[in-house]
Structure formats: C-alpha cells, structure tokens
Amino acid sequence: MWKQTVGATMIAVTLAATSGSAAATPAPDGGTAATADGTTDGGLSWAARLLGRQPLPAGDGWAAEGTGTTGGAAATPEQVHVVANRAELVAALGGDNATNRGNATPKIIYVRGVVDGFEGPDGTVLDCSDLADPEYSLPAYLAAYDPAVWGRLAPSGPLEAARVRSVTNQTRQTQINVGPNTTIVGLRGARLTGLTLMLDGAHNTIVRNLTFDDARDCFPAWSPTDGAAGNWNSQYDQISVRRSEHVWIDHNTFTDGDNPDSSQPVHLGRPYQVHDGSLDVTHTASLVTVSYNRFVGRDKVMLIGSSNTVGPDVGRLKVSLHHNLFDGVLQRLPRVRFGQVDVWNNHYRLAGDGFEYAIGVGVQSAVVAEHNFFNLGADVAVDDLLYDWGGTAVTTRGNWVRAAGDRARPVDLVGAYNAAHEPDLAPDAGWTPTLRRGPVLPAPAVPAVVGALAGADRLPL
C-alpha cells in the first residue's frame, strides 16, 4: 500500500514539475512555428522556445507572491539570444558588463555549450596570473602575513592592497552582471564555469537548466581572527542574489567541477579556500524560489542573510526551497538570518568528516522545514542537522531520516537537537507557509522524485 502511495505521488509531482513546460506565455510576435524537424529559426527547438517564455507557476514559493515572476517572457524577437561564450553572454545582457545590471529590457538568453568566465576578449582563457596586480604574489603574501611574523592582526599594507586590486581585476572579469526582466536557460549540456552570475537589483529574473562549476577565487583573503586558527575566505558565489525580488532558480546543478576544495593546499596552517557559496541570497533580497536543483560535493552552499545587524534585512529574505538535492555538501543547507524560509520536500545525502550542519538557525530567522528526507553517513549524527547561529525557533514536521545501518524513520529534528545541545530551540517559527504548488510529498517519497527530476538537463529541451 505504501509503495502504491509513493508511486501515485511520484506521478503527481512529475506532472506538476513539468506541466509548465507544455504551455508558456506566447511570444509578442504571435509565437513561433516549428519546422518538420522540430526546430525554429535560430536552431532552437519548439520546446526550448516555450521554456524560455515560461513564467514561474502560480503559487510556487515566495517568488510567486504578488505579481509573480515572469523573467524575460515579454522579450521581443530581437531580445532572444543564443550565446556560446563570455563575450556573447555579456552582449546579450546589454553589451557592457559594467552597466548591464541596469538593463531592464525583457530578454531571453539561451546558453549553448561552455561559457568560461576567464575567457578574454580574444577568446584566450586567462589564468590567475593574468589578473594579478603586478605587486601581488602569493608566496610574498604568505611570508608577510604568517601569524608567526605578522601576528593575529588583519593584513594591511602594500601586499594586502595589491591583493585587493587583484580582486578588483578578477571581479571585472568573472562577475557577470544581470539586469531585471531576464530569463537565462541552458540548452542541453550548457555549463557556466569560472564565473559568478550577479543578480544585484535584478528584479523578475529566472535562471534554469545550467550547470555551474568552479567559481574560483584567485586571491582569497586571509582572516587571522576567523576561528581559533584563522581561515581563508573567498569572495565569489556561483549565483549571488542581492537587492532583488521575484527570482526563480530552477533545475540547475552546482559543483566545484574538477577543482574541489579537498584538492586545495594548506597555507598558514589552514585549507586554502578558493570557493564561496553556491547560491547566496543577501542584502535585502526577497521573494526567491529555489526548486529542483542539485548541489553536489561543495562546502558552503546557501547563505540567506549575510549580517547579524538588525536593519534593512528585517522583513525581507523570504525564500522557498523545494525538491532540491543536497549531495555530499557540508554546510549552509541553508544558513538563515531574519528571513521566513520554507524548506520542504528536499533530499539530503550527507556524509564525511567535514560535514558541519544542514540547516543553520540564525538571528531572527523563521525557518519551516517540513517533509524532507535525510540520508546520513556513519559520521553524521541526527542532532547535528540543525545548528544554532543565534536563532531561537524553527518549525520541523514530517521529516524522515535514514541513518547508516538503520531503516528510514520519522525524526523530530528540534527534539534531537535539544537533547544534545544548549540552549534549546523552540519548535515553532511563528508562521505557516501557504505558497506551495503541487502535492506536498510524504518524506519517504522525496528521494525517488528528487533523484529523477532535480538538476540540469532534466527539462524537456
């Protein structure tokens, strides 16, 4: 009977996840006509044309609040682009990376193949040495700021200033600025490597069906007072959402590619951290839906709210996460400050000595985590799934866990945390989510559905 129920819910959620692809907002020119081979002018399939104009379905998370999220659905034919390199991507976004964030013209951008953020104007792929300030070198930096020499003080002086100038060079090159009313869709196999999609003030934006890998920082900062022994901190997320509303991030895959953190050297006694987050929502951003994505083999995944300071973020940072896979990742799944964040029907596969926590309960956060499924390796304890970052309450209902060597069973995440940690977290975040599209699955059905549908290259393109 249970298997029949799971099977029925899988069918229902599959239809819900893909139904929007079958019908989309018509193009301003009256639509496109498919040829006999299923393609239209520009080499785009009929399905790709429809997907590019698909809005976020009604009721699908916080991004559906109010006016909803349509991205570039209103784009004229002249504002529909297919891009295959960095220069073409920048041109499609408006033409000048320095000012593209202000380009509010509706636009649809299809990515074909691999776009490398380190690609120079002549098509040559740059490396970190090409972006370094002439007065910066890592060996000199390590020698100057070794705690045995410099002490536990923040770096300053000519070498640190040269590092900051190097960061400025890299930001100009690898941070791709996106403006409002934009849809970016990856065609099959599309990949963005070595870059950050910066959605700063990018209201009404959709990003779908892309693989992001290795948004590496060439010039990490040494922070000697971060933790007991100091830490290296990097700057670049794969997607950064700031000061934006109505953003839909759907069916993407986030990895470090062939440059994982585990392969980095140790400098000044600490791992040399060259990656930051996968998808951070900060600086008063709000009304964001994150659905059907895969986060694989990364350390820091999702930060919602970047400061404990009580101020503009209060009442903002409203984010929905559903049907995502968190696979072999270590922390921030998500970590939340201030926001009302709805975490439901996600699948967590967590293991490894480096695992820290899944859901971080931060200052004035209001997280609701319901009907999620957790697969835990032998070195991950149930009481470590939550972490108190200065919060006071979190709602958890209907979640299940399968610990190593055990059968799947319901779990009270707050009860497990409180049994092992002080102070206790209260079990009620104080609000009830209403923006959930499609059936809410019982947690045991989540792994099969998310495994089949989450990530890039699973949409009908």
SS3 100: helix
Question: What are 93-140's pLDDT values in tens digits?
Answer: 999 999 999 999 999 999 999 999 999 999 999 999 999 999 999 999
Question: What are 41-77's pLDDT values in tens digits?
Answer: 468 999 999 999 999 999 999 999 999 999 999 999 9
Per-residue confidence band for 17, with pLDDT thresholds at 50, 70 and 90: low
Q: What is the pTM of this model?
A: 0.92
Question: What are 343-354's pLDDT values in tens digits?
Answer: 999 999 999 889
Evaluate if residue 11 carries a pLDDT over 60.
Answer: no
SS3 222: strand
Question: Please, what are the domains in the chain?
Answer: 2-453 (2.160.20.10)
Task: State the Cα–Cα distance between residues 440 and 461, nearest whole angstrom.
Answer: 26
The tokens of 161 are what? 């200033």
Q: Which runs of consecutive H residues, i.e. helices, occur in 44-124?
A: 46-52, 86-92
Question: What are 73-89's pLDDT values in tens digits?
Answer: 999 999 999 999 999 99
pLDDT attached to residue 8: 43
Mean pLDDT, rounded, for 150-161? 96
Task: State the Cα–Cα distance between residues 335 and 250, nearest whole angstrom.
Answer: 19
Number of H helices, E strands in the chain: 9, 32
pLDDT attached to residue 353: 87
Buried b (16+ CB within 10 A) or exposed e, 94-108: beebeebbebebbbb
pLDDT attached to residue 250: 98
Mean pLDDT, rounded, for 398-413? 97
Task: State the Cα–Cα distance between residues 321 and 305, nearest whole angstrom.
Answer: 15
Q: What is the DSSP string of 231-292?
A: EEE----SEEEES-EEEEEES-EEE-TT--GGGSPEETTEE------SEEEETT-EEEEEES
Listed in sequence order, the residues at least 6 apart from 155 whose beta carbon sits closer than 8 Å to its beta carbon are 141, 144, 145, 163, 221, 222, 224
Catalytic-role residue among 86, 294, 298, 332: 332
The tokens of 304 are what? 């919602």
270 tagged catalytic: no
Q: How many CA atoms lie within 13 A of 134 on its CB side?
A: 0
Mean pLDDT, rounded, for 214-239? 96
Task: State the Cα–Cα distance between residues 173 and 118, nearest whole angstrom.
Answer: 7
Listed in sequence order, the residues at least 6 apart from 151 whose beta carbon sits closer than 8 Å to its beta carbon are 224
